[in-house]
Amino acid sequence: MAGRGDARSRPKDLGRTFGRLLRYMGHARKRMLLVAVLVAVAGIGALLGTYMIKPVVNAVGRGDWDGFCRLVALTAAIYAAAVASSWAYTQVMVSAAQTVVSDIRRDLFDHIVRMPLSYFDRTRTGDIMSGFTNDVDTVSEALNNGFASMMQAAIQTFGTLILLLVLDWRLTLVTLACDAIVALYVRYSGRRSKRLFAAQQQTLGELDGYVEEMTSGQKVVKVFGHEEANLSGFRRLNERLREAGAGAQAYALTMVPTTVAISYTNFAIVSVAGALMAIQGAADVGSLASYLVFVRQSAMPINQLTQLGSFMLTALAGAERVFALLDEPEEADGGTVTLEQVEVADDARAAADARMAAGAAGWQWHLADGSTVPLAGDVRFEHVTFGYAPGQTVLEDLSLYAKPGQKIAFVGSTGAGKTTITNLINRFYDIRGGRITYDGIDLRDIEKPALRGSIGMVLQDTHLFAGTIADNIRFGKLDATDEEVRRAAKVANADSFISRLPKGYETRITQDGANLSAGQRQLLAIARAAVSDPPVLILDEATSSVDTRTEAIITRGMDQLMAGRTVFVIAHRLSTVRDANAIMVLEHGRIVERGTHEELLAQRGEYWQLWAGTRELD
């Protein structure tokens, strides 16, 4: 049982982990029960087939050829039943195992997408992927190849011991003494390798994370020519993994040859002792022949148990890590207020175009008492204090407001808290003090899916998914029709470039839109926000990474999208926020200046210095 199972450690809470795995196995309980029955038939059949050597040999000794033929036929039938059961349980086990693993993967992914952003802030992507791949695959291999085999090995080990006692209890004492030596060595070796296996698994996770990070950042690596430096980093981690794996396997792999050597010694002793007993008439030849075959075969199930025991512990360790991930707290909600977007009739296409271009309309609140109120898009921060980690403060006693239809811009140095404000509007994080309201309703009283569904975002780092252009626009509203997708693209000023593509809206793009330009990706992001027709819009430095000409195209698309909506803009280029109703200048989590473009220039403060610096650069 090699492969991923070799990257192992031991579960910290064996009983709890095994219990949870059994509950998942209960999803395929009928097939698992059938597997147990078939395994029992196969194991008992193998034991009875070996025991039949005794009557067969004794029949030959008596010269009973009729009895010999009947016994041989019976033995053949027993072995045939055992072989058929073995084949059947492997097929049933594959189906049951895949059901269990499928359920685990489903629950794991369902849980991951419900986790708060703070979890992803503190957890490496490689560690999460390792749970989906290494750990789940180890559980899959254990169920496919180990669970039934371990049951059969246990049946054969226990059954062999019973039949050895039945055949000759005196010789069995020698066998038990040898088995005790094997058990002691396995325990000693297991303890020695435990620490090294844990180090191996930890290093494997670090290596997976490193490879994932370097692979996703290949463009940056090549730009700076750090291929050799990254290769050196990989070699260091790979060498650590090799050393830990070699040390762990040095102990683990001695179990098999040690077990075999002791079993051979045991076989030699009982062969000589049994022969002397048969010569003296203290045992019959048939019993001795059957006994020697059992002794010779006894090493195999013990060997299997030794290997499978370690393999199953590895799988349980992987399952424990998966369950630990499933035990991570999901994103809390607690909201009771919901939102609804009023649908536009099919015969009102012109009105729908005007509504999308003119701003948010047709949204309404569903309050806890069952009443509905039109949504206006009024957002207010009242003495808000927030920090991402205990003891850290990013925003301190911050107050601001955005009336329906206003455009509010945030400017300031990196780390001033601009993006943090927009994260709090979406309630990606919960504030420590103060209050944020949406049309007078505390954000904490609004269901998160409803809140986020009413807020469109266009980010600087646009993330596109592998699929068609239409699919990526439709990601803003999964049930959007083709006409709505096209309408959104026109609002975003993206329809012209899409129409020139070979397959138009059905053109397939790679992950992150690598086969599109930066400007085209940004226009698709604007269209994605437009298709949901949100009353509130957040633009996070949406044009900072494109050239001036492309910026002008994107700006025209954003101007159409922003019309009539409450808009928050994080500005990298101050020229994009001159028409804002209010500009907030942030430093160290505080608003140090606020006003219109002209008012702030007149103050000749922080904003004036930023503007002057920009003009000098131009």
Residue 343 lies in a domain: no
Domain that holds residue 239: 3-326
Question: What CATH number has the domain bearing residue 552?
Answer: 3.40.50.300
Residue 273 lies in a domain: yes
Residue 589 lies in a domain: yes
Shared-domain flag, residues 103 and 231: yes
Position 554 scores a pLDDT of 67
Residue 175 lies in a domain: yes
Position 425 scores a pLDDT of 92
**DSSP calls for 394-428:** SEEEEEEEE-TT-EEEEEESTTSSHHHHHHHHTTS
Domain boundary among 261, 291, 326: 326
Shared-domain flag, residues 272 and 124: yes
Shared-domain flag, residues 312 and 411: no
Position 347 scores a pLDDT of 44
| H-helix or E-strand spanning residue 22 | helix 14-25
From first CA to last CA, the distance across the chain in angstroms is: 66
Cα torsion for 116, 117, 119, 124, to the nearest 10°?
150
Residue 536 lies in a domain: yes
Position 550 scores a pLDDT of 65
Residue 339 lies in a domain: no
Position 615 scores a pLDDT of 41
Position 180 scores a pLDDT of 80
Position 384 scores a pLDDT of 93
Residue 28 lies in a domain: yes
Shared-domain flag, residues 69 and 152: yes
Q: What is each CA distance from 112 to 22, 92, 499, in whole angstroms?
A: 22, 30, 37
Position 437 scores a pLDDT of 94
Residue 364 lies in a domain: no
Shared-domain flag, residues 610 and 490: yes
Residue 213, SS3?
Answer: helix
In the chain, the number of structural domains is 2
CA pair distance 451, 431, nearest whole angstrom: 16
Neighbours of 265 (CB within 10 A): 13
For the chain, helix (H) and strand (E) counts, in that order, are 23, 15
Shared-domain flag, residues 408 and 259: no
Phi, psi angles (nearest 5°) of residue 182: -60, -45
The ranges of the chain with pLDDT < 50 are 1-8, 344-361, 615-618
